[in-house]
Structure 1
Amino acid sequence: MNERILISGASIAGPTLAFWLARYGFQPTVIERAPRLRAGGNGVDVRDQAIEVAERMGILPQIRAVGADVVGMAFLDATGRSLARMDVRGTGDEVEIMRGDLAAILNQATEDDVEYIFGDSIQTLEQDADGVRVTFERGQSRRFDLVIGADGIHSTVRRLAFGPESRFLKYMEHYVAFAETDPALGENRWVTAYNEPGRMAGVYRSGNHTGAKANFIFHRPEPLDYDYRDIDQHKRLLHEAFADMSWRVPELLAGAMADPDPYFDSLAQIRMPSWSAGRVALVGDAAYCASPVSGCGARLSMIGAYRLAGELAAADGDHHFAFQRYEEGFRDAVRRMQQVGPNLRLMVPKSAIGTRMRNTVARSRILDSLAGMERITRRKTADPLPDYERRSATRSR
Structure 2
Amino acid sequence: MADKQVLVSGASVAGPALAYWLARYGFDTTVVEIAPALRGGGAAVDFRGETHLAVLERMGVLDRLREVQTGGSPMTFVDEHDRTVLHLPADFAGGDVEVLRSDLSRVLHEHGRGQVDYVFGDSITGLTETPDGVDVTFASGARRTFDLVIGADGIHSRVRALAFGPEERFVSHLGYYVASWDLPADVDVPAGSVSYNVPGRLVSTGGGPDRPGAFVAFKSPRLEYDRHDVAQQRGLLVDAFRGMGWRTPRLLASLEHTTELYFDSISRADVRPWSRGRVALVGDAACGATIGGMGAGTAVVGAYVLAGELATAEGDHATAFRRYEDRMRDYARRCQKGGDRTGKFLAPASGFALRMRNGLLGNKFLLDLMLKVGKDITNKIDLPDYAHAAA
Q: Same fold (TM over 0.5)?
A: yes
The separation in 2 between residues aligned to 1:53 and 1:367, in whole angstroms, is 29
Q: Which residue of 2 aligns with 1:383?
A: 381
The separation in 1 between residues aligned to 2:349 and 2:110, in whole angstroms, is 43
Alpha-carbon deviation of 1:273?
1.3
Q: Which residue of 2 aligns with 1:50?
A: 52
The separation in 1 between residues aligned to 2:41 and 2:375, in whole angstroms, is 31
TM-score with structure 2 length normalisation?
A: 0.94
Q: Which residue of 2 aligns with 1:368?
A: 367
Q: In the alignment, is the contact (CA less than 8 A) between 1:120 and 1:139 conserved in 2?
A: no
The separation in 1 between residues aligned to 2:95 and 2:262, in whole angstroms, is 29
Alpha-carbon deviation of 1:4?
0.6
Deviations 1:6-36 (CA, angstroms, capped at 9, x unpaired): 0000000000000000000000000000001
The separation in 2 between residues aligned to 1:330 and 1:203, in whole angstroms, is 35
Q: In the alignment, is the contact (CA less than 8 A) between 1:214 and 1:256 conserved in 2?
A: no
Q: In the alignment, is the contact (CA less than 8 A) between 1:179 and 1:255 conserved in 2?
A: no
Q: In the alignment, is the contact (CA less than 8 A) between 2:126 and 2:138 conserved in 1?
A: yes
Q: In the alignment, is the contact (CA less than 8 A) between 2:335 and 2:377 conserved in 1?
A: no
% identical equivalent positions: 43
The separation in 1 between residues aligned to 2:94 and 2:222, in whole angstroms, is 39
Q: 1:123 aligns with which of 117, 122, 125?
A: 125
Deviations 1:270-322 (CA, angstroms, capped at 9, x unpaired): 0011111101001111111122123x010111011111100100000000000
Distance 1:354 1:245, change over 3 A: same
The separation in 1 between residues aligned to 2:315 and 2:306, in whole angstroms, is 11
2:158 equivalent to 1:156: yes
Q: Which residue of 1 aligns with 2:213?
A: 213
The separation in 1 between residues aligned to 2:154 and 2:94, in whole angstroms, is 29
Gaps of 5+ in 1: none
Deviations 1:81-106 (CA, angstroms, capped at 9, x unpaired): 21221113169981010000000000
Deviations 1:111-130 (CA, angstroms, capped at 9, x unpaired): 11100000000110110000
Deviates more, 1:85-94 or 1:363-372: 85-94
Q: In the alignment, is the contact (CA less than 8 A) between 1:46 and 1:298 conserved in 2?
A: yes
Distance 1:93 1:362, change over 3 A: closer
2:326 equivalent to 1:328: yes
TM-score with structure 1 length normalisation?
A: 0.93
The separation in 2 between residues aligned to 1:93 and 1:171, in whole angstroms, is 26
The separation in 2 between residues aligned to 1:22 and 1:162, in whole angstroms, is 26
Alpha-carbon deviation of 1:71?
3.8
The separation in 1 between residues aligned to 2:190 and 2:369, in whole angstroms, is 25
Residue type at the aligned position of 1:281: A
2:87 equivalent to 1:89: no
Task: For 1:10-29, list aligned pairs within 5 A.
Answer: 10-29=11-30
The separation in 2 between residues aligned to 1:323 and 1:66, in whole angstroms, is 34
CA RMSD of aligned residues (A): 1.9
Alpha-carbon deviation of 1:375?
3.9
The separation in 2 between residues aligned to 1:154 and 1:91, in whole angstroms, is 24
Residue type at the aligned position of 2:346: M
2:190 equivalent to 1:187: yes
The separation in 1 between residues aligned to 2:288 and 2:306, in whole angstroms, is 16
Alpha-carbon deviation of 1:373?
2.8
Q: Which residue of 2 aligns with 1:34?
A: 35
Deviates more, 1:93-102 or 1:117-126: 93-102
Q: Which residue of 2 aligns with 1:147?
A: 149
The separation in 1 between residues aligned to 2:70 and 2:214, in whole angstroms, is 15
Q: Which residue of 2 aligns with 1:312?
A: 310
Deviations 1:231-279 (CA, angstroms, capped at 9, x unpaired): 1111111111012111001122122332122000110000011111101
Q: In the alignment, is the contact (CA less than 8 A) between 1:32 and 1:117 conserved in 2?
A: yes
Q: Which residue of 1 aligns with 2:179?
A: 177
Instruction: Count how many residue pairs are aligned between Structure 1 and Structure 2.
Output: 387
Other structure's SS at 2:304 match: helix
Q: In the alignment, is the contact (CA less than 8 A) between 1:51 and 1:93 conserved in 2?
A: no
2:10 equivalent to 1:4: no
Alpha-carbon deviation of 1:366?
4.2
Alpha-carbon deviation of 1:376?
5.3
